[in-house]
Amino acid sequence: MTPENKKLSRRDFIKDAGIGGISTLVSLATGGLVGNLMAQDATPTETPKPEIPPMPKRPFGKTGVNVSILAVGGITDFTTNQIILKKSLDWGINYWDTADCYNGGNSEIGIGQFFEKNPDARKKVFLVSKSCERSLDGMSKLLARSFERMKTDYIDLYFIHGISNIKEMAPEMKDWAEKMKKEGKIKFFGFSTHKNMAELLQMAPSLGFIDGIMMTYNYRIMHKDDMKKGVEECQKAGIGLTAMKTQGGGQVKTDTEEELKLAGQFIQKGYTPHQAKLKAVWQNPAIATICSAMYNLTVLSANVAAAVDNTKLELSDLMELKTYAAKNCSGYCAGCASICDAAMGRDSHIADVMRYVMYQKEYGDAEMARREFASLPEGVRYSLRHLDFAAAERACPQKMPIGKIMREAADLLA
């Protein structure tokens, strides 16, 4: 699931439901389970704690490890949000994700603070972090820094972060990963990706040293033939799969009558549209877990409620989501960056800019959007107002108004 806004928004967490307040919303979610979960924090000594169904777990590829189907996404400042870590562990979430670059290091630092105060927690957590470096020396330095920040001497799963081409997983990384495993510093190794996911999933098994992959995966793209093939190839190879960006938030806000109608249909069935989108992903058993950045207890509770509720979406529900995605595809970048790059004849960074716009418009997180945008080369940021993107627009399978969005991004994120 994509990160919800710190102010509870996602901006539409309440509006999508079409109802008036948080208490009503959480009571509707899976028969009141969310309300029960939240009550534990509100009045822990006044009422008996309700029995919470156990958090389901799935095998993470062929690693031999079972992970919770809901994972804590670490793109937040855990130094000021320790309660999310505590309640996640209390409610059975054992997969914690972070990266050396998240929130200037405060994500990892916050996890370290939690482990320092709760030393028994470390052995209960399947800890995941990522390297933004590609050189072996850089990877080793960042891994050592992650140990120091998180007060641990090993990481369960270590990713090379945000690759877009399989060549970024250089052959020498295999030897590095094997060395780190022998030294007990990591247990498993892989990569994360926001772009060219289908291609990377299909090619990963041929590398022979990938234990896990985290990738964008949601109701908008899960039905595409190339994505289905990629997931199947990884499943056959025993590669554990972590889904992220599962809400399928777009770069163009639509807020249409159709969107509100879809939300109402799910609310009548007892869950929010956000929970329905999670369930759509979980119905594929090849997906071991969903990584969700949950900034507050309300969103955490709603996601936990969806995870522990064993009700499956009906075929008609899945078709509603698929139909909605098809009708509104021009508002969503599917991450097929290689198509844009080929059309533009260079590394265009179109998919990156699209993601940053989505952080601002869909997540409501202007700070993160601008920080990520500022990391692009200055020439790329400058060119957004002046380049002709017509070739990319003609090639885009989603038929997105790329030029308009790029010019808007130059103003919005500068």
Residue-wise pLDDT tens for the chain (414 aa)? Answer: 444 334 333 333 333 332 223 333 344 333 444 444 544 454 445 555 557 789 999 999 999 999 999 999 988 889 999 999 999 999 999 999 999 999 889 999 999 999 999 999 999 999 999 999 999 999 999 999 999 999 999 999 999 999 999 999 999 999 999 999 999 999 999 999 999 999 999 999 999 999 999 999 999 999 999 999 999 999 999 999 999 999 998 887 666 677 777 888 888 888 899 999 999 999 999 999 999 989 899 999 999 999 999 999 999 999 999 999 999 999 999 999 999 999 999 999 999 999 999 989 888 889 889 999 999 999 999 999 999 999 999 999 999 999 999 999 999 998
For each of the domains in the chain, give its residue range(s) and CATH number, in order of start. 15-323 (3.20.20.100), 333-412 (no CATH)
pLDDT in tens, 346-403: 999 999 999 999 989 888 889 889 999 999 999 999 999 999 999 999 999 999 999 9
Q: Which residues contact 10 (CB under 8 A, 6 or more apart)?
A: 4, 16, 247, 274, 299, 362, 363, 364
Give me the residues paired with residue 190 across strands.
159, 212
For 391, counting Cβ atoms within 10 Å of its Cβ (0-12 exposed, 13-18 middle, 19+ buried), the class is: middle
Can you give the pTM of this predicted structure?
A: 0.87
* Residue in the block written with tokens 């992903």: 281
Q: Which two tokens stand for residue 411?
A: 């103003």
Round the CA-based radius of gyration of the chain to a whole number and report it.
Answer: 21
* pLDDT tens readout for residues 92-137: 999 999 999 998 899 999 999 999 999 999 999 999 999 999 999 9
